[in-house]
Structures are given as C-alpha cells and as structure tokens.
Amino acid sequence: MLFFADRFTWLTPSWLIATGVLLGMLVLLALWGAAALVNRRAGRWCWEIATEGMLFPLLITAGLISVYSVAILAAGLVFESKQLPVAAFSQSLRRILAQDDQIVRTIDLAPSQRNLLVEFDANPLEIEKFTIEAPGDAEMLLFLPNEPGFNILQPSVVLDPQKPWPWKRTLKNKYFFSGDRVQFYLINNTNLPNPVEVTMTATAEYPQVKAIPITAAIVVAGVLAYAMLWWAFPRILAVAGTTLKETIYQPLFFILLILTIGLIFFPIFVPLNTFGEDIKSYKENTLTLLTVVSLLLAIWSASNTIADEIEGRTALTVLSKPISRLQFVVGKYLGVIFPVLILFIIGSVFFLGCLPYKTVYDARESSQLEPTWQQGFEEIRLIVPGLALTLMEIMTLTSISVAISTRLPMLVNLLISGTIYVLGHLLPLLVLSSRISSDYNLDKLVEFSARFFATVLPVLENYNIHAAITGGSEVPWSYLGVTLLYTICYCAFALVVSLLLFEDRDLS
C-alpha cells in the first residue's frame, strides 16, 4: 500500500531538497580539500570541527540524505520515469542560475531565401512571450520536428513591414511551438536581403529547481557559521560541546527522536474525518508535536546540565578553569539548544519527506485524481516558514528554561515553562480583553497585569500562524525577519537574566 502508482510523484519533491543537500556537501568537501592543500593544519582544524560538537550528527544526517538523492537519481535514470525529468531539471536550473530569460537574435535572410530552419536552445514549455519583426515582407511558418514527412505545416504568419508579430502565453493558448526545442522556418519572398529580429522571453520549465541552490546555500552557510563561532569563541563552544554530549548520549534523546519519527509517520494513514482536509490537520499537528517534544528535551537538558551541576558542585570545577560565568551561561544555552536543534532538524527532514506522500495518499483514499509532484513540492514550500517560526519559538522557550535552571530544579522548571507556554499564547487575547472589559472595578488592574505579562513574557502567539500556513497562505519574508529579530532580542534578554541569577549564586 505504501508504494502505489508512480512512486516518483511523491519522491521527486523530497529528491529536489536532497539534491540541494548533496550539492552543499560537495561544496563543503571541495572547501575542505582546498584548505588541506593550502595548509595541513587548517585541514586538521576543519576535520576537528566536523567530528566534534553538533556538526557530526548533522553531517551524518546530511550524508544519508545525499545517498538518498543519488539512489533516487539512479532509479529515475534506470526506469526513465517522466516524473523525474533530469534533463529538463538541469535546463531549468541552468536558466535560473544564468538568468537568461531574454533571448534576442537577428537572422539575416538572403534574397528569395526558402525554408530557412531557425533553432533556439529553449524548450517550448519555457516560452512565455515571442515576438518576430522584419522590415520587409517575410513569412514565418510553424515547424513540427516530430512529424516526419511534413516540411511545412500551417498555420503560417505573414509579417507586415515594420510591424512586430507578438505571441503571449494564455490559459487558452499555452503553447505555440511543439517538440523538444523551439524550431521554425523563415521564408523571404522579396528580392532583397531581409534581417529578421526574434525576441523571446523564457522562464524555467520547472521553477521548483530553485530549491537545489537555496538548500545548498543553507547547508554551506550553516556549517561556515558554526566554524566561525568555533574559531571566535572556543571556550564557549567547549562548554557547549560537553553539554551536548551529556544530552545526546542519554537514552531519553533517542526515545524522543524515535517517538517523533513515529508520530510523524503513522498519522499519514489515520483518517481524521475532516472532509478532505486531513493534510491541514496533519501539518498543524506535526508542527505542534515538534514544539512540544523539543521543549521537553530542552527542559530536561537544561535541568540535567545546569541545575544538577550547580547542586552537585560540578559547576564550581568548570568555573575554576579560565571560563567566566558569562561564558558558562552562554555555553550552557548553546549546549542545550544544539541537541534540540539536532532533534528538530531530523524530525523536520523526515516530515518534509512524508508530506508529499500524504498528499498522494489522501487523494487515493478519497478517489480523487492523483496529484502531480508539483503539488507535493508546493506543500513543502508553504510549510517551511512554519518550521522556521516553530524553531524560533523553541529557541525562545529554551532561553527561559536555562534561566529557570540556574535557580530551580527540573519539576519546577517544567511547571513554570509550561505555564509560560500557555500564557505566551494567550497574551494577545488577555490584552485585548482587558481593553474592552468595563464590567468590573478591577478592569484597570486586569489591564495592568495583562500589559505587564505581555512585556515580561514572550508573545508566543507571534510564532503561531499555523492556520495561515496549513491553509496555503504565503508568509512574507518581512514577517519572518521581524520575528527573528524579536527572538534574538528576547533570547539575549533571557540570557542576561540567567547571568544575573547565576552571578550571585553560591556554588560552594
């Protein structure tokens, strides 16, 4: 039941993302090789970064994804699946990277030239606009290269002098040329040489291939950012690396990871009786699942590596080394967020792989037409901003959990973090209710309390746009940018509070 119909219908969207990861890994290997050739010490330093800290499990995950990309590519070439048109993907990627959307050519027609074949390196599916202009009388005839036995086919177009003949793609008139390449004949009916100017506006046949360079850039930028962080703050990363190992080597990490993957996979086959909207519920439930599981891991990790170390006097041993309390707090925060990030990335990658199949499965179960792979890719494209906002929410809540762990044990941390999670999502409603409430004499107190909590606590409802995302609405980049800035500022504020709480803590 899992592999029905054309498998590439739901494999192609995830294959595009995996190919971007593969390209990013190849770029990183090339950079590592260049660094090793220039300076062996630099090569060893790069190897140390790759095998220590959070990069090691993430690079293993990226390697498995790269193997998946190569396997799907090999299967597509062997079975010659139309759902995986590798040549067309390459052409679209080349056109996007080169940005050659405007094609202009001047063709010189000799006097009384007959049946001059003109060819362009473009697929007819890529042509959006086409204009041909000649100063004299000429005739452009449509040519069908896949029809043997016919040299010239109608319809033909007689060009008026000095008047361009335009064509534009519409819903009723999608294609003017046929075949694999743009080809047509020109005829010069005059006794004079006739230059003909042809202008075409071409777009990528598959604009979805933009995901390949974007994903590769994210992979390379993420690794380089981590390397710069390692180079600039080695002591902080040393504390973070120790905390990371203490977390990922615990059975709870693997239990949560397996639980997350299972709760993402098995609901695909569970009917939710939502009148054909199962995919929306599936996306919203998965985003909530990733938030809750990541928050549980963050609270447990913060309490296990901060509160327990303070109570067990282990923190005093760490601070006896040339590490300040600020470096200790920031390193502990990074050490807590790194395993959460690993769990979140692995769960998100698995979710993005399952999402296209969910669209195909629901269509089959409801006896609808099988969707195309472009529809599955569209589901992935629309859910990525939701994953980014979910990660920002997790970062914010983790910073609060770290601050609480400097003073309180795990159980209290869990209760306070859970309360903040609920209040953070209710703050906009509380503020709005306090403004319109006039039935009681305590409305001013209620308004003051609502505004106070809205100032001190994070407004988590800023991250909750699940209804818009699952409904297929676009999320503006400006909204993501402003929310990211808010997340960075609040995390910095929470870390300052953590330092203040930890500064006067007696560790002896």
What's the average model confidence in pLDDT over 206-231? 91
Task: For residue 254, list its beta bridge partners.
Answer: none
For residue 40, what pLDDT band results from cuts at 50, 70 and 90? confident
Cβ–Cβ under 8 Å, residues 22 and 69: yes
413 vs 148, which has greater pLDDT?
413
**Angstrom distances, CA of residue 282 to CA of 128, 279, 464:** 37, 5, 16
Gap between the Cα atoms of 427 and 36, Å rounded: 53
Model confidence at 151, pLDDT cuts 50, 70, 90, reads very low
Distance CA 237, CA 504 (A): 24
**54 contacts 244 by C-beta, under 8 angstroms:** yes
Domain-wise residue ranges, the chain: 1-98+207-231, 102-202, 233-503
Distance of CA 292 to the CA centre of its chain: 21
Q: Who wins on pLDDT, 297 or 179?
A: 297
Helix ranges (DSSP H) in 366-409: 373-405
Q: Of the ranges 41-55, 143-157, 330-344, which is most confident?
A: 330-344
- Residue 144: its pLDDT value, please? 45
102-202 in CATH: which number?
Answer: 2.60.120.1520
* Per-residue confidence (pLDDT) for residue 213, from 0 to 100: 93
Q: Per-residue pLDDT tens for 354-371? A: 888 888 887 777 666 778
- Residue 52 Rama label (left phi>0; alpha psi -120 to 50; beta): beta
Least confident stretch, 288-297, 300-309, 315-324: 315-324
pLDDT exceeds cutoff 70 at 268:
yes
Neighbours of 339 (CB within 10 A): 27
Query: What is the 3-state composition of the chain as percent helix, strand, coil, each rounded to the nearest 5?
Result: 65, 10, 25
DSSP state of 147: S
For 415, half-sphere exposure in the C-beta direction (CA atoms, 13 angstrom radius) is 4
**pTM check: above 0.85:** no
Poorest-confidence range of 68-72, 239-243, 390-394?
A: 239-243
Q: Residue 349 has what DSSP assignment?
A: H
pLDDT at 282 over 60: yes
Q: What's the pLDDT tens digit per position in 395-404?
A: 999 999 988 8
Indicate if the alpha-carbon torsion angle 212, 214, 218, 220 is positive or negative.
Answer: positive
Roughly how many angstroms between the first and final C-alpha of the chain, as a whole number?
A: 62
Q: Work out the average pLDDT over 141-156.
A: 47
- Range 147-172 average pLDDT: 65
pLDDT of 38: 87
pLDDT band for 345, please (50, 70, 90 cuts): very high
Which pLDDT score, from 0 to 100, does residue 152 have? 44
Q: How confident is the model at residue 456 (pLDDT cuts 50, 70, 90)?
A: confident
Q: Give me 467's structure tokens.
A: 């209804």
